[in-house]
Each structure stands twice: as structure tokens, then as C-alpha cells.
Chains A and B, each alone.
Chain A
Amino acid sequence: MSVDKDTVRRIAKLARLAVPENRLEPMAAELNGIFQWVEMLGEVDVEGVPAMTSVVAQKLKWRKDEVNDGGQADALMINAPEGEEHFFVVPKVHE
């Protein structure tokens, strides 16, 4: 599989990442180098091998479904690039 300029443009769009037009071609070349190297995984027979879901043999713990934190709106707004009272301000979404 080979990654071209259009593919980079498409995945950049999926990743919500602005990649300048003049970076698309070099990025495609870099990604191709990496994907070609990764191709070696194709030579391993993985028939019947379970995909890893947890690296330590552990069952995820259950916890009570109850509120244990909250009321932190002021603290949450401290780092907002733009906010008004307890709202994050963003550019207009709908016309």
C-alpha cells in the first residue's frame, strides 16, 4: 500500500489537522517509508491469535455509579482560550 498526496490530505482532514499544501508531498514520502517498514508484520502467521485487549491479566474494576466529583465549572474555565461565565466561546457553528 502506498500513501500519496491525496491520501495525506484525506487523513489530515479526518484528523482535523491543517497540513500546508507544500508539506503534503514530503509527509507522504515520510509516511511511505514508515508503512513500508511496517509491512514486515505481513509475514507473520496470525491465524487464530487473539488480539490483545489487556496487557495485564486483570478484570476491569467495577465502581458504584454515583457522583463523586463536580461543581468545578470555575476551575474548568481557567484554561479556556475564550470563555464567558461558564461557557466556552467558539466561532459561529450555524448560520
Chain B
Amino acid sequence: MSDLISMSLAEARDAIRAKKISSRELTGAFVSAIEKARPLNAFITEVGEKALAMADASDKRIAAGTIGALEGLPLAIKDLFCTKGTRTTAASKILGNFVPPYESTVTQNLWDAGAVMLGKTNLDEFAMGSSNETSAFGPVFNPWRANNSNANLVPGGSSGGSSAAVAADLCLAATGTDTGGSIRQPAAVTGRVGLKPTYGRCSRFGIVAFASSLDQAGPMTKTVKDAAIMLGSMASVDAKDSTSVDIAVPDYEKLLEGGIKGLRVGIPKEYRIDGAPAEIDALWSKGAGWLKAQGAEIVEVSLPHTKYALPTYYIVAPAEASSNLARYDGVRFGYRASGVRDIIDLYEKSRGEGFGGEVQRRILIGTYVLSAGYYDAYYARAQKLRSLIKRDFERAFEQCDVLLTPTTPGPAFGVGAKTTDPLEMYLQDVFTVTVNLAGLPGISVPAGLTESGLPLGLQLIGKAFDEGTLLRAAQAVETAAAFKHSPAKWWSV
């Protein structure tokens, strides 16, 4: 059984197509692995029975010879994607009982391709966090632990349930969303692959909105090839999302071929930050060496406004969030406070009781920076900075095809280690957030272990809508790193 669940998505796909295994067998193995892994708290909602029914339907299609791109393959879905008839909470009390009457476009695309849903994964509340600790459904534990330690570590965030589920073999692959690093950072600290596509590549319809100009869905997988396969099904142009871009979805798997000879890889010097652990720098240099050895040309480039990216993000994202989250008012859906005096009291108490601390903090930041007298000083200025950050990338891409950077400033940290000072948590996204501000695709690839045995990732950043080149470069890192480590299954009861 354990062989079944440790397969990659591509291996499972090929085994199903060769009729070596059925979707039912495969799905059953994951359903039982998920039950055993409850101590990780990776799932908010398990849908075992529904999964098996979907698997049976898939097996019928396979028998009939209609085989979709993801036929019979069990996936985990971040609980930010609306799933028709299955509770979708955004890990918030305010949506604790919300059952969407519609399906998100990305998940619909996956089911149309034949995939099976195993359940809805835990996340930071409304995807606001980098450790999965702001979830109203409790923290997720990273499947990885440091050598000779029983201390629980965070799985990164916000897609922490998805990252833990992929790393613990509780699904073949998972969906995530990335607003400032929420796919790449959790993938990095759990030793797996996470891809944030170009803004507009995947439809945002039916994804609970956090910051609409930054949010983008993407795959979290065991291998780069799996990410290419997943993206091929997730991406689409969608009439329900006017920001989804009308560019044909290429065969990403095919684009993996061809190697990286002559590829120009930029190393942005501003990503070398003071106080970063030496291990991060060493891994970064090693990564550049791997690419060079495969025929790439390494060029030093400059992204001069890098240090302004995080503060820019912490104006733009909360501003958009405060506006997006205005819809949660206790009237039409979601949590409603009891014992209220009047309608204003109903709004204030429902929101005050329904939103957790980090979400409230961001709503207040956003409301403040958009309020009369402060708009120009904060929001308008941040939008100008965003233009400068994007321009930095455009200039860098005149000299190179992809950029190579670390994904995170360090490995997974302890549960509770960074919850006192919000700024300390925000710094987790220092290397990832620039990509969202510029709308570009970025991928994290597992590249090595720290001395204490914890995974670290390297990030590659591509040109807009050039996921093909990005994935090819990522595969080159993956091949050279030969990262075959998996966490010990301490959670299995």
C-alpha cells in the first residue's frame, strides 16, 4: 500500500493508464493514509466516501476508454477553493459552515480532467500567514522534524495543509494559492515543489478572495513534471474571471524537454540579505553551479527595489483584503453573532467574533491606508513602487531568461516561534513576494537539507507566461539536486 501513495502523479497516471492499478485502489490507499495522519491536522474536511464514489466513476470511464489528463488521480484541495456541496471555510470561523452552491473554475477543470477529490486542506485564515498558525481549525504540523528532535515545526503557509499533505504522501498532488509566497514557501519548507503561475494563467473564479491583484492558484507536487501536468489542467481562460488571460494553454509536460543549454540564468544581487543563514547562501551558489554544469550561462543582475517589496505588499494586500472581506457581514452567509442591538451591531459583532486576530489586523491596516488623508501617502505610493518593482524585473529579463534565488530565509521553524511579532512572520516572504507584485511565475524546487536535516528550496522566477522555460529550468535544478528525502512517518498511528 505504501508504494501506491508514494508514487508521483506521473507514475500513478501511467499505472492507471496501463491498467496496473484502479483509481479505487489508489484512492482507497490515500483515504486510509489520511485517516492515519490526523495528528498532522492537514485536512479541515475529509471526503472519503465522496472520493471513493469519484474513483468508481473514474474507473467506469477508464473501462469505457474515455481517459482525461488526470483520470482517476486523487488530489487534495486547499480549503480556499469553493467546492459545490462540500464545505469551504477559508480556515475562518466566519465561513465555518459555508457550503458553496458553485464550483471554482480551477477545481472544475481538475474534475473535468478526471481527478478525484480527497478533501479540503487546512490553511492560514483567508490565506493570511506563513505558518498555517492563524487557522481557526488549529495549526498544521510539518511532517518533517529536525534530526533527533520531537519538536513540531510549521509546514509553512498559507497553503500549509496542502504542503503537509503532499510531503506526507496523503495525496498525489494538491492545489494551493499564492498571494505573497503561499505556495512556494510551504513547498520549500516541506521539501516539495510549488509553482505560482503568471497572474491570469489560472482563473480566480470561486477562490475565496484575499488580494485580487496578487492571488493566483497553482500546483503543489512531488516533482517538477507533476507540476507541469497539474498546471496543464488547472490553467484556462475563463469568462467568469475577466483577469484570466486569453493565451492558449501549452503542453507543459512537453516543454520540459530540451535541456537548458544556453539558458541565461540571472542571479539578483539584492537577494543576498544580511543575517541570512550561511546554508542558504551556500545552497544558492550550489544551484547556480548545477545550472552552469548543464550548459546555462550565469549572469549577475540587479533588482534595485527589492527591499521595498515587502512593505509595498503590506499596503497593497491589506488594502485589497479590507475591501474583499467587506462582504462578510453576517447577513447572507457565514457566521452571525447573536444578541445584537441593531444592524450595525450585527455587522461589527459578527465580524469581530468571526475573524481571527491576523485577519482583523490586516483589515485595519487596509482600512487605514485607504482612508481619507492617508490614501496618497500609502496606497498611491505603494502602487507606484509596484510599477518600479515590475520595471526592475523587465530590465533584468533583458539580460536573462530566468532568475535563481533562495525560496525562504530559512528552514521550517517551530510552532509558536514567530507568533509574537507580526513583522517577523511577514519576513518569511522576503524572497517570494516580489514575484506576486510583478505578476510573474515562480517555482520552488527542493534542493537540499540543512545540517539539522530540514529541507530547503531554491526559487526560479520566469517571464510572464513563460512557465515552459521556468519548468525546464526547475527540472534541471531538480535533476542535479537529486533530492530523494522523505520525512519519517512519525504521525502514523
Using a CB–CB distance below 8 Å, which chain A residues touch chain B?
Answer: 1, 3, 7-8, 11-12, 14-20, 27, 30-31, 33-34, 37-38, 40-42, 44, 46, 49-53, 55-58, 60-61, 63, 72, 75-76, 78-82, 88, 90-93
Q: A79's contact among B97, B314, B326, B387, by CB below 8 Å, is which?
A: B97
A56 touches B334 (CB 8 A): no
Q: Are A80 and B311 in contact (CB under 8 A)?
A: no
For the complex, give the distance between the alpha carbons of A51 and B368 in Å: 19
Number of interface residues of B (CB under 8 A): 75
Q: Bound state CA distance, A33 and B311, in angstroms? A: 12
**Cβ of B346 and Cβ of A52 under 8 Å apart?**
no
**A52 touching B390 by the CB < 8 A rule?**
yes
Encoded as 1 (CB less than 8 Å from any A CB) or 0, chain B from 384 to 407 comes to 111110100000000000000000
Contact assessment for B343 and A91 in the assembled complex, using a CB-CB cutoff below 8 Å: yes
Give residues of chain B (459-486) contacting chain A, Cβ–Cβ below 8 Å: 464
How many A-B pairs have beta carbons closer than 8 Å: the answer is 162
Contact of B346 among A79, A80, A90 (CB under 8 A): A90
B332 part of interface (Cβ distance < 8 Å): yes
A41 to B438, CA, bound (A): 17
**Which chain B residues have a beta carbon within 8 Å of chain A's beta carbons?**
97-99, 101-102, 198-200, 213-214, 239, 242-243, 245-246, 305, 307-308, 311-312, 314-315, 322, 326, 329-336, 340-349, 351-353, 355, 360-361, 363-368, 371, 374, 377-378, 380-388, 390, 421-423, 437-439, 464
Q: State the CA gap A49–B312 with chains docked (Å).
A: 15
Cβ contact within 8 Å between B336 and A17? no
Does A30 lie within 8 Å of B422, measured CB to CB? yes
Contact in complex: A41, B382 (CB < 8 Å): yes
Listed A/B pairs (13) with beta-carbon separation below 8 Å = A7-B368, A15-B367, A41-B385, A44-B388, A46-B381, A49-B384, A51-B383, A58-B245, A75-B102, A78-B99, A79-B333, A81-B335, A92-B343
Q: Which residue of A lies closest to B85 (CB)?
A: A78
Residues in A neighbouring B422, C-beta threshold 8 A: 30, 33-34
Q: Is B353 in contact with A81, judged by CB distance below 8 angstroms?
A: no
